Amino acid sequence: MSHSENTTPDNTAEDAAATIYGPSDHLIRKNLIDDDAKKICYRLQRAGFKAYVVGGGVRDLTLGKEPKDFDISTDATPREIKSLFRNCRIIGRRFKLAHLYFAHGKNIEVSTFRDTIDPPEPTEGDQSAAGPVLNDNIYGTEVSDAFRRDITINGLFLDVSTMEILDYVGGMQDLRDGIVRVIGEPIQRFREDPVRMLRVVRHSARNGFRIESGCWTSILENAELITQSSQVRVFDELKKDFSSGCFLTILHLLGETGILEYILPELLENNGRLLSAESDFSQCLERVDDLVVEGEPVSATVILTIIAMFTAGDSIWLADLAERLPEASDLSERLSSCFTRLVVPKKERERIQLLLGLWSKVRGISPKALKPNAYKRSPILPDLVALLEITCLTREDAQRVQLLRPLLHLDDDHSHDGHHHHRKPHR
């Protein structure tokens, strides 16, 4: 697997010059950038440091989308950042970065420029919890920080003072052309951190961008590398896929690349009939994606439960599942055969089992006999309602959702109305 090739990729960090896109060369307007993110940059710059909005924020704004969050990169060290901001906490062990905290639970990540280094190639069967990403705890320069990033469209730097975009990696052109391209040599970057293969797929699906052909080939040839990655990180990236609004597309791409075999092989059984367009599994995931796009997030528990119930029930038809899913007593045994390649945390497995048990039970009760109050106190009521809604087939299914849904709003009133009439009792 390891060629002793010392060739450097074309876009090497050394002596790289940025292409600078002025305010009239892109669509980002200052008022679209989060006020706190701007203030952080201004304060760092006034103190003599460099500071840029980086990563997904610049990408999404350039595409005319609303970013999920704004990350900042700077040449100030975490210690220097902390001395400038009171609302700052330093996190991380190997690579330290600063989190700045704001009202309503908002926080903005301020990261010191990272170095691009060639970490040692993962040794055969290296399963250490940390995974192959090593030695990241070295600060770098603006240039190295651009080149250590995963794909070109994520490698842009925005200076909020001048509203210039600094592009060291060709990301602007790729944004315009709709291309996902790895920064540097794909195989090398995937060996350093196999999770990047998942990121390539996600960003392609999310934006409808095509994957650059060398990158695509490299993933096809090296899909198995994903098994070298930290299981925790794979699960974390997969959760981002869940909430992407295009999870079904991502699953198809992961299937095509061969990666799926190493993380969710259960979806490939029986010639991949679960992923065929007509299966109820696909229909359910389409509903999940629709809900997410409409701004109604679906929890990871619900999505994992959908995967689990079709796997454990061994059918692509919802109508079969209710009778095929065993009683709660041996449900846990059935569930232990799900997620064989994915490390799902124990707590999450317990929630899945609880939710699946409740779902089966409720589906077995006729709407007339259903007593909504019995579920009022269930900690997973929102997930139960979401799952019933996503798996709704018949008029009776719809009636059950209608009976249980109002309980959610009851709950809402209690938590949000605290400042009105009734004060929350001390517990």
Q: Which residues here bind Mg ion, judged by CB under 5 A?
A: 56
From ligand ATP, Mg ion, none, interface partner of 191 (C-beta below 5 to 8 A by class):
none
Smallest separation, CB 155 to Mg ion (Å): 13
Which residues lie near ligand ATP (CB under 6 A)? 55-56, 68, 71, 149-150, 154, 193, 195-196, 199, 240
From Mg ion, ligand ATP, none, interface partner of 43 (C-beta below 5 to 8 A by class):
none
**Among candidate residues 111, 93, 108, 192, the one with its CA nearest the CA of residue 150:** 192
Concatenate the DSSP letters of all residues of 190-203 into one string. Answer: HHH-THHHHHHHHH
From ligand ATP, Mg ion, none, interface partner of 193 (C-beta below 5 to 8 A by class):
ligand ATP
Q: Exposed, middle or buried, 361 (CB in 10 Å: 0-12/13-18/19+)?
A: middle
Q: In what order do the strands lie in the sheet with 71-74?
A: 19-21, 164-167, 156-159, 51-54, 71-74, 107-112, 97-101, 88-91
Which of 99, 196 has the CB closer to ligand ATP?
196
Q: Where are the beta strands (DSSP E) in 285-380?
A: none
Residue 51 is classified by DSSP as E
Which of 195, 288 has the CB closer to ligand ATP?
195
Q: Under 8 Å CB-to-CB from 23, ≥6 apart: which residues?
A: 162, 163, 164
**Among candidate residues 34, 35, 38, the one with its CA nearest the CA of residue 46:** 38
Which of 56, 140 has the CB closer to Mg ion?
56
Smallest separation, CB 133 to ligand ATP (Å): 8
Smallest separation, CB 206 to Mg ion (Å): 12
Residue 224 is classified by DSSP as G
Which of 176, 424 has the CB closer to ligand ATP?
176
Kind of pairing between the strands at 51-54 and 107-112 = unpaired
Q: Under 8 Å CB-to-CB from 61, ≥6 apart: which residues?
A: 27, 28, 32, 33, 67, 158
Which of 195, 300 has the CB closer to ligand ATP?
195
Q: Where are the beta strands (DSSP E) in 232-327?
A: none
- 43 C-beta neighbours (distance < 10 Å), count: 14
Q: Under 8 Å CB-to-CB from 128, ≥6 apart: which residues?
A: none
Which of 94, 414 has the CB closer to ligand ATP?
94
From ligand ATP, Mg ion, none, interface partner of 196 (C-beta below 5 to 8 A by class):
ligand ATP
Smallest separation, CB 392 to ligand ATP (Å): 29
* Catalytic choice (60, 71, 241, 289): 71
Smallest separation, CB 155 to ligand ATP (Å): 6
From ligand ATP, Mg ion, none, interface partner of 114 (C-beta below 5 to 8 A by class):
none
> How would you label 259-283 residue by residue, b for 16+ Cβ within 10 Å and e otherwise?
bbbbbbebbbeeeeebbeeebbbbb
* Catalytic choice (150, 167, 193, 289): 150
Smallest separation, CB 120 to ligand ATP (Å): 16
From ligand ATP, Mg ion, none, interface partner of 154 (C-beta below 5 to 8 A by class):
ligand ATP
From ligand ATP, Mg ion, none, interface partner of 184 (C-beta below 5 to 8 A by class):
none
Smallest separation, CB 419 to Mg ion (Å): 32
Kind of pairing between the strands at 71-74 and 107-112 = parallel
150 a catalytic residue: yes
Quote the CA–CA distance of 110 and 51 in Å, as a whole number: 9
Quote the CA–CA distance of 323 and 251 in Å, as a whole number: 27
15 a catalytic residue: no
* The residue type at 413: D
Task: Give the residue closest to ligand ATP by C-beta.
Answer: 56
Which of 151, 385 has the CB closer to Mg ion?
151
413 a catalytic residue: no
* Catalytic choice (36, 69, 136, 397): 69
Q: Which residues are identified as catalytic?
A: 69, 71, 150
